[in-house]
């Protein structure tokens, strides 16, 4: 089967099963917070605690904060960390998504290609709530919504599509063997600290290695894409090189996800 046919099959399966995808995304979300007395409140508590700890360590402890483009450091930090909370869930969760829902494949013959979609969508719902909270926080602090926020849906859509492809690729490979999942999870902390989520990449922009690394790092692209909306006031098309590098990475990852599906789809039910 050619890759174009696999892509057409992917689109067809999503079209035919979109109702089930929506229902399963809600079920996945409920399952995440099931049994907790505070329920969905924990979806906000964890990010708030994390942001406070990093802000305290950097600005109070190390005294390395300071205003960025006229914005307090804590707001600059929040603008970049909100997409990270979503991405870290998908980087690690994407590797386990098919194994987690193995019964859909082995007992119900559910389309494998749509499993990463509903797990991705459930995490996106939480992130959308956080984004609304962030917009309100900026407004309360004296920074009302600007026209640049109109591009937030563009970044959200690109982020969703990229990590959907990642979920399919990583989920399939990890379903065959857990080593890949363990490898990814061991690198998440390194990705966090090296991607400019906590510090300004302009500080090392003159170093060639880091410049290339940032150009082809989707985590950096999305963190600074959100900061472009809230802090730097830049349109996504004002940085064509960064956009082209991201699109190139997405095409490669989409191809790898289709390649993994083509090679492993017959083995997955037996392995699971």
Q: What is the pTM of this model?
A: 0.90
Predicted confidence at residue 149, as pLDDT, reads 94
Q: How many helices (H) and strands (E) does the chain have?
A: 12, 0
From the number of C-beta atoms within 10 Å of its C-beta (0-12, 13-18, 19+), residue 34 rates as exposed
Q: How confident is the model at residue 36 (pLDDT cuts 50, 70, 90)?
A: low
Q: Residue 19 — very low, low, confident or very high, per pLDDT cuts 50/70/90?
A: confident
pLDDT of residue 104: 84
Percent of the chain residues past pLDDT 70, beyond the cut: 92
The 10s digit of each residue's pLDDT in 72-130 is 888 999 999 999 999 998 998 888 888 888 888 887 778 888 989 999 999 998 899 89
Take residue 103 and report the two structure tokens written for it: 């019964």
- What residues contact 76, with CB distance under 8 A and at least 6 apart? 68, 69, 227, 231
Mean pLDDT of 178-192: 88
CA 123/CA 135 separation, integer angstroms: 19
User: Which tokens hold the place of 246?
Assistant: 């991201």
Cα–Cα dist 21/113, whole Å: 11
- Residue 68: phi and psi, rounded to 5, are -125, 115
Q: pLDDT tens digits, residue range 127-172?
A: 998 999 999 999 999 899 999 999 999 999 999 999 999 999 999 9
In the three-class reduction of DSSP (H, G, I as helix; E, B as strand; rest coil), residue 68 is classed as strand
Model pLDDT, residue 65: 63
Of 270 and 14, the structure prediction assigns the larger pLDDT to 14
> What's the confidence (pLDDT) of residue 21?
86
Chain centroid, CA 86 distance in Å: 4
Residue 255 CB partners (closer than 8 Å, separation 6+): 3
Least confident range from 27-36, 92-101, 171-180, 206-215: namely 27-36
Residue with tokens 């919504």, as numbered in its chain: 145
Position 221 scores a pLDDT of 95
d(CA 103, CA 168): 17
Average pLDDT, the chain: 86
């Amino acid at each position: 089967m050619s890759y174009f046919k696999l892509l057409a099959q992917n689109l067809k399966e999503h079209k035919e099963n979109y109702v089930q995808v929506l229902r399963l995304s809600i079920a996945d979300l409920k399952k995440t917070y099931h049994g907790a007395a505070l329920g969905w409140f924990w979806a906000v508590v964890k990010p708030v605690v994390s942001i406070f700890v990093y802000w305290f360590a950097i600005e109070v402890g190390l005294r390395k904060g300071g205003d960025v483009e006229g914005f307090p450091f804590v707001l600059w930090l929040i603008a970049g960390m909100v997409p990270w909370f979503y991405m870290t869930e998908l980087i690690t969760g994407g590797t386990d998504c098919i194994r987690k829902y193995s019964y859909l494949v082995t007992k119900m013959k559910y389309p494998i290609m749509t499993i990463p979609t509903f797990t991705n969508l459930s995490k996106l719902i939480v992130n959308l709530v956080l984004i609304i909270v962030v917009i309100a926080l900026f407004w309360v602090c004296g920074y009302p919504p600007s026209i640049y926020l109109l591009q937030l849906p563009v970044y959200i859509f690109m982020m969703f599509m990229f990590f959907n492809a990642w979920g399919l690729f990583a989920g399939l490979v990890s379903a065959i063997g857990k080593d890949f999942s363990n490898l990814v999870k061991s690198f998440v902390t390194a990705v966090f600290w090296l991607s400019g989520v906590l510090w300004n990449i302009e500080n090392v922009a003159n170093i060639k290695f880091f410049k290339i690394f940032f150009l082809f790092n989707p985590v950096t692209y999305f963190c600074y894409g959100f900061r472009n909306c809230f802090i730097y006031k830049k349109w996504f098309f004002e940085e064509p090189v960064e956009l082209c590098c991201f699109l190139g990475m997405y095409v490669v990852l989409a191809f790898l996800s289709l390649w993994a599906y083509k090679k492993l789809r017959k083995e997955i039910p037996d392995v699971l």
